[in-house]
Amino acid sequence: MHDKDVVFTARPGGRMQGDIRVPGDKSISHRSVMLGSLAEGVTEVSGFLQAEDCLATMAAFRAMGVEIEGPTEGRLRIHGVGLHGLKPPAAPLDLGNSGTSMRLLSGLLAGQTFDVTLTGDSSLVRRPMRRVTEPLRAMGARIDTTEAGTAPLHIAGGSRLKGIDYAMPVASAQVKSCLLLAGLYAEGKTCVTEPAPTRDHTERMLAGFGYPVARDGNRVCIQSGGKLSATRIDVPADISSAAFFMIGAAISPGSDVFLRHVGINPTRTGVIEILREMGADIEILDPREVGGEPVADLRIRYRELRGIRIPEHTVPLAIDEFPALFIAAACATGETVLTGAEELRVKESDRIQAMADGLTTLGIDARPTPDGMVIRGGSFRGGAVDSRGDHRVAMSFSIAALRAPIPIEIHDCANVATSFPNFVELARTLGLDIEVS
């Protein structure tokens, strides 16, 4: 079946009620495989996200000689080979739709002794990679891209990397993580300074594997010459996946949803901050720490939302949740203005344009800007929208049906499996009337 044929039909009305745990955090699942593979000893992972993106990372390390048992019900046993134990893969590493895999692996593989090629699907090979290849070249890596600066990436082995002191032009956890992973193999010290805080899972997990990381405000440094020691990782539920149900509950009268064991890393909680600013009723219950990551249970009940000017400091903290937040804005009273989010234009799709086009089709006044959007709250009508093969766009428009008078048909939804394979099943459990054809 061609990808274009996967259609979600979300029927109107209903409310969200129930108590669930969404699948494991995608960012942490990727990193657990990467660092577990480079550690000494056997790393045990629970809560691993069995989605296509994370399975692509796992397949890449298996191709480089790492024995990984599982995943069985979210459990993995990774037999680490140490920092210098990876073997040359027999073929190019195909990372599917996963930008995280490609950007982080480019740093980790820049310091190996063997040549390797990284490629992916039609969406991934269009995404910009210069943001990682340029600083890696400054460290001494030899990486070739297409003329457009996109994949396939050809990484030559045997380069002697030197530490770098890099000030990132744009806040990006993937670029920061890429350079820190290259820093494991670079002579001396590698430091990265961010213009704004981004998710810090790599730093937390390196420390969890016993590797020293120095943090000072928005600057993080790593020195080569250490080692990673196997550990146990319990992956919290993914706040980016939880966001669809948080917003579903926030916009549909009569809703009351309880989400368990959600990761509330302060570099990821922008979605909670923005929704609360809009007037949402969100309780954070039983906050605790699991394996170096803060988690909590969340309870969300319906309350009328109001339009706001989204504070720019929250943008990097909610970058993946904006497609869903645009749905909240469409249901709010008044105008919501987003600025400072040009990063959304180079995700799996141009998320600003994809969401603006879909919202307009559904009768909402949504005006895209170069770095954001202006949305005037209104009433949805039904209709057919194109997700442009973007998992988060597809799931966001599904939630909109809770407030639509007739069904919303969402096309090109196959990629939902890249981040949230049981989305439809869980959405139905909570009361969304959705079918797949």
Calculate the CA 170 to chain-centre distance: 17
Cα distances (angstroms) measured from residue 87 to each of 25, 152, 422 = 28, 20, 34
- Tokens at residue 140, please? 């001494």
For the CA atoms of 397, 398, 402, 405, the dihedral, rounded to the nearest 10 degrees, stands at 70
Q: Give me the pLDDT at residue 323, please.
A: 98
Q: 204 labelled as ligand-binding? A: no
Q: Give me the pLDDT at residue 171, please.
A: 86
Residue type for position 334: G
Residue 370 confidence (pLDDT) above 50: yes
Residue 409 confidence (pLDDT) above 80: yes
> What's the average model confidence in pLDDT over 137-166?
97
Tens-place pLDDT, residues 59-103: 999 999 999 999 999 999 999 999 999 999 999 999 999 999 999
Q: What percent of the chain has pLDDT over 70?
A: 99
Tens-place pLDDT, residues 252-285: 999 999 999 999 999 999 999 999 999 999 999 9
Q: Give me the pLDDT at residue 417, please.
A: 86
> What's the average model confidence in pLDDT over 355-375?
98
Q: Tell me if the domain spanning 3-24+236-436 has CATH number 3.65.10.10.
A: yes
Distance CA 364, CA 381 (A): 8
Q: 127 labelled as ligand-binding? A: yes
Q: Tell me if the domain spanning 26-231 has CATH number 3.65.10.10.
A: yes
Distance CA 297, CA 376 (A): 31
Within 291-420, strands assigned E span 293-301, 335-338, 365-369, 372-376, 383-386, 408-411
> What's the average model confidence in pLDDT over 177-197?
97
Name the catalytic one among 200, 320, 390, 412.
Answer: 320
- Tokens at residue 275, please? 């929704």
234 tagged catalytic: no
Return the domain boundaries, the chain: 3-24+236-436, 26-231
DSSP code of residue 317: T
* Among 418, 419, 417, residue whose Cα is nearest residue 436: 417
Q: Give me the pLDDT at residue 185, please.
A: 98
Q: 27 labelled as ligand-binding? A: yes
Residue 3 confidence (pLDDT) above 70: no
Q: Give phi and psi for 182, each to the nearest 5.
A: -65, -35
Question: Contact at 8 Å (CB) between 276 and 288?
Answer: no
State the distance between the two ends of the chain, measured CA to CA, in whole angstroms.
11
Q: 77 labelled as ligand-binding? A: no
> What's the average model confidence in pLDDT over 17-46?
96
Q: What percent of the chain has pLDDT over 90?
A: 92
